[in-house]
Amino acid sequence: MQLERVRTTTLRVTLHAYELAGLMAAVRYVVDSAPAEVPDTAREQLRGLLADYNEGLRRLATVAEQGAAR
C-alpha cells in the first residue's frame, strides 16, 4: 500500500486488489453486523464508502465490457 498526500485533506492510495478486497470486507462487516458501540455516524460514513466502491466496480465492469465488445 502506498499513500501520497495530494492536498491537506486529500490522499492518493495505491493498493493491490487483495488489499482493497480485505478493507472492503471489513467495511461490509461493520456495516452489516458490528456491535452497537459503533456509532451510527460511523456506520453511515461506511455505508457511503461501500456505495461508492460498488459504483466504482460497476463502472470498471462497464468499461471492461465495452473494451471486450470492440
Beta-bridge partner residues of 14: 2
Q: For residue 4, give the C-alpha cell.
A: 501520497
Percent of the chain with pLDDT over 90: 74
Residue 13 amino acid letter: V
Q: Residue 23 is part of which domain span? A: 2-68
Give the total number of structural domains in the chain.
1
The answer on pLDDT for 41 being more than 90 is yes
- How many Å apart are CA 53 and CA 49, to the nearest integer? 6
Are 26 and 46 spatial neighbours (Cβ–Cβ below 8 Å)?
Answer: no
Q: For residue 41, give the C-alpha cell.
A: 455516524
The answer on pLDDT for 51 being more than 90 is yes
Question: Which pTM was predicted?
Answer: 0.77
